């Protein structure tokens, strides 16, 4: 059949004039030039993305790396990835590309590795299948993103949060976060002042449970102003109600903030019952002295 096709092609070309042959040759060259230009555009796009990209066969041989990929992993085109990157004899355990070739899905992992200069870095690796028109996987695309700075920032934030939490948890001042009439966070001192455990307050206590009836209006008004942004901070003294029903005086400061993407109030408070008692006693003494 192929021989017959070749013979027909020869006969067709034999019937063509020299000018027609030259025109066909010119058209073929133009199509080749167009394909080459298109290929250059694709490669230029891959280089300009700034994302490290490689193309690998289903046997894990590296067909292509853009410059960003070479900068991270080194130039290893033509080599098997597991040998080039990890010095292994077989495909690496947990490799996202292995999983992609197995199930045809995209996969991602984070890992520590060495860059082209031998420096340890954190990377995020994503893999994607490349399929032909029948849906058969013929190659795999792998991208690498250097997330070293992100990981260092996350670690610094984690340490800072740990230090902050330690200070807050050990504070002699009651510290709270208030949102939607609940307390998503109180430190141990806040719970102790109100006679609850921290878990009890977080799970079930609402603001009306811990405010003396006659002072609820002023407390709720300050909460409203803070949440709606009418004021940035509030500083009030009011009577609070402990779990056992005891009434105490508290001095509270609060500021508007955001917690889990929603308006909230963060603040601190002190039990000033003894201070208020002493102030009242001092007023009595001053009155008596003025009478005498």
Q: Domain ranges in the chain?
A: 1-48, 51-160, 171-278
Residue among 173, 138, 154, 166 at smallest CA distance from 270: 173
CATH 3.40.50.1000 is held by the domain 171-278: no
Q: Which CATH number fits domain 51-160: 3.30.450.20, 3.10.129.10, 3.40.50.11540, 3.40.190.100?
A: 3.30.450.20
Reported as half-sphere exposure (CB side, CA atoms, 13 A), residue 278 has a value of 4
**pLDDT of 49 strictly over 80:** no
pLDDT in tens, 121-170: 999 999 999 998 899 999 999 999 899 999 999 999 888 888 888 888 98
Task: Report the share of the chain in percent with pLDDT over 90.
Answer: 55
SS3 content of the chain, % helix, strand, coil (to 5): 50, 30, 20
Name 186's bridge partners: 176
Looking at residue 181, its pLDDT comes to 94
Q: Is 62 buried (19+), middle (13-18) or exposed (0-12) by CB count in 10 A?
A: buried
- The confidence score (pLDDT) of residue 98 equals 94
Question: How far lies 89's CA from each of 80, 85, 93, 119, 145, in Å?
Answer: 9, 11, 11, 23, 25
Q: What is the pLDDT of residues 205-230, one digit of tens each?
A: 999 999 999 999 999 999 999 999 99
* Local confidence band at 22 (pLDDT 50, 70, 90 cut-offs): low
pLDDT band for position 68 (cuts 50, 70, 90): confident
> Are 51-160 and 171-278 equal in CATH topology?
yes
Q: What pLDDT is stored for residue 31 in this prediction?
A: 64
In sign, the C-alpha dihedral spanning 71, 74, 80, 84 is negative
Confidence of residue 285 (pLDDT cuts 50, 70, 90): confident
3-state secondary structure of 42: helix
């Amino acid at each position: 059949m192929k021989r017959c096709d070749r013979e027909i092609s020869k006969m067709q070309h034999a019937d063509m004039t020299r000018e027609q042959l030259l025109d066909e040759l010119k058209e073929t060259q133009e199509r080749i030039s167009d394909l080459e230009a298109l290929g250059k555009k694709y490669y230029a796009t891959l280089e300009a993305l700034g994302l490290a990209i490689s193309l690998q066969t289903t046997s894990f041989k590296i067909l292509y790396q853009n410059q960003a990929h070479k900068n991270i992993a080194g130039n290893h085109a033509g080599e098997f990835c597991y040998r080039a990157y990890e010095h292994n004899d077989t495909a690496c355990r947990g490799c996202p590309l292995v999983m992609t070739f197995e199930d045809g899905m995209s996969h991602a992992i984070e890992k520590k590795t060495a860059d082209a200069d031998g420096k340890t870095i954190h990377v995020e690796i994503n893999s994607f299948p490349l399929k032909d028109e029948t849906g058969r996987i013929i190659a795999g695309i792998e991208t690498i993103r250097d997330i070293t700075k992100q990981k260092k920032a996350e670690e610094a934030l984690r340490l800072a949060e740990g230090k902050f939490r330690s200070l807050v948890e050990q504070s002699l001042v009651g510290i709270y976060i208030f949102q939607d009439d609940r307390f998503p966070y109180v430190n141990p001192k806040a719970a102790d002042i109100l006679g609850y455990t921290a878990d009890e307050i977080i799970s079930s206590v609402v603001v009306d449970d811990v405010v003396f009836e006659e002072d609820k209006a002023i407390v709720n008004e300050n909460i409203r102003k803070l949440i709606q942004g009418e004021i940035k901070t509030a500083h009030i003294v009011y009577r609070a109600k402990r779990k056992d029903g005891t009434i105490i005086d508290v001095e509270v400061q609060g500021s508007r903030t955001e917690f889990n993407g929603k308006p909230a109030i963060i603040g601190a408070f002190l039990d000033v019952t003894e201070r208020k008692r002493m102030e009242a006693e001092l007023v009595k003494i001053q009155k008596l002295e003025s009478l005498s």
